[in-house]
Chains A and B, each alone.
Chain A
């Protein structure tokens, strides 16, 4: 149960999109930004999904963690591992390098070192690294928004967590 009434005051704004819809202009711009992360195909959906769930686990955001991007290719075991606060053994070397940086974003951002970034820059290119650095804080911010508004966890399998032209979960 969230704290806020929905825009028409008839029901409590319980899901994330209806909470943000209390400021519809901001919602549309947030959807445009967050959706572009998923729509553009700049980074593999699997890599984004690993990071999203890693950050959800670290911030203790169950509402984010129970959303599953079904097309990302993560296995049930990998999701379970991330939900328990672990990095799955099955990830690739690149995915592990990205997850190690993602793990520092919520609470130890100053711990991200030059060497770690240099490795990601080499593997992803400047454009991929910039895309990743847009995505990671945005995943963190999304978890914090859900937590501060007490958005109720609702398990869903979704085509993608957000789209510029579709739903925002």
Chain B
């Protein structure tokens, strides 16, 4: 998989990264952020468990980002 961005930044003057790339779709980006932030903010599952599973998932999928 490429280690350089395959899509341009949607924000002039800013480099292409996850946030500036998904900004090409502001409505989807906003709704994704709303869901993902709520997942981290709500307390049904501990932050420790969520962080362990996040890192484990990154390792399994070999996502160095």
Contact = CB atoms under 8 A, between A and B. Distances in A.
A30 B30 CA distance: 12
B7 A121 contact: yes
Q: How many A residues are at the interface, by size bracket?
A: 20 to 34
Contacts of B62: 110
A114 interface: yes
Interface stretch (A9-17, A48-56, A79-87, A124-132): A124-132
B38 A29 contact: yes
Given A36-B28, A112-B1, A129 B38 contact: no
Interface of B: 1-2, 6-8, 10, 21-22, 24-25, 27-28, 31-32, 34-35, 38-39, 42, 44, 61-62
Given A23-B44, A26-B38, A110-B1, A117 B6 contact: yes
Interface string A55-78: 000000000000000000000000
B27 to A, nearest CB: 6
Interface of A: 23, 25-26, 29-30, 32-33, 36-37, 40, 42, 109-110, 112, 114, 117-118, 121, 126-127, 129-131, 134
Given A110-B62, A112-B1, A129-B7, A29 B25 contact: no
Contacts of B42: 23, 25-26
Nearest to B2: A114
A132 to B, nearest CB: 10
A126 B8 CA distance: 7
Nearest to A114: B2
